[in-house]
Chain A
């Protein structure tokens, strides 16, 4: 049981380049999330999905796109990377957002640097 995995772990991009971050979970969770974490800013929600084929915007969605074609996978795309997107990206999944017993399980993170 791998939990939540993310690929790649590290990446350096030049401004304007594109890339896709892959998140996979094997816990049969309905909900999946993409966050970015910057010093002094905490975790900020980029996009999330409440089920296969659905996505929704979070707090900071601009410059990112997502897709959830399969229940176990959630992809985050950067079409034209900018230095402001240098950050640590975390994927997470959970059974339900509204449950009192809710817990998010996080992947190990992707450290992205845009030069």
Chain B
């Protein structure tokens, strides 16, 4: 089983729709979680951190389910500009031996 798994998609949704992605992780010692956004042929950029209590940033909501070992990203009122690949990142914190693992990404295509 991969350490971090994502559905590659693509998720094709109309503008204005709500869409959700999940990211599962296998290491129960994982402590930090993030969502990054990567546009085609560009570098990844941090979208948001994922806190234990869940957190919201405008149209984006991130949640963590430790019991089932997954994080989720919900996008409400999708915009054309949301089209991108969304990467989840999971970190096992152990000082300088901390390990960071990226998921392979979920591609979102928002259409008119």
Contacts and interface: CB of A to CB of B under 8 A. Distances in A.
Nearest to A94: B100
Contacts of B49: 100-101, 103
Interface stretch (B9-17, B57-65, B67-75, B90-98): B90-98
Interface stretch (A41-49, A65-73, A76-84): A41-49
B100 A90 contact: no
Interface string B37-52: 0000111111001000
A97 B103 contact: no
Interface residues of B, number: 22
Interface SS of chain B: strand
A72 B95 CA distance: 21
Given A42-B87, A100-B32, A101-B49, A107 B98 contact: no
Interface residues of A, number: 21
A67 to B, nearest CB: 18
Interface in B77-98: 87, 91, 93-96, 98
B95 A98 contact: yes
A101 B44 CA distance: 17
Given A40-B8, A42-B87, A42-B104, 13 more contacts: A35-B102, A40-B104, A42-B105, A43-B44, A90-B44, A97-B91, A97-B96, A102-B91, A103-B49, A106-B45, A108-B43, A109-B41, A109-B43
Interface of B: 8, 32, 34, 41-46, 49, 87, 91, 93-96, 98, 100, 102-105
Interface of A: 35, 40-45, 50, 56, 90, 97-98, 100-104, 106-109
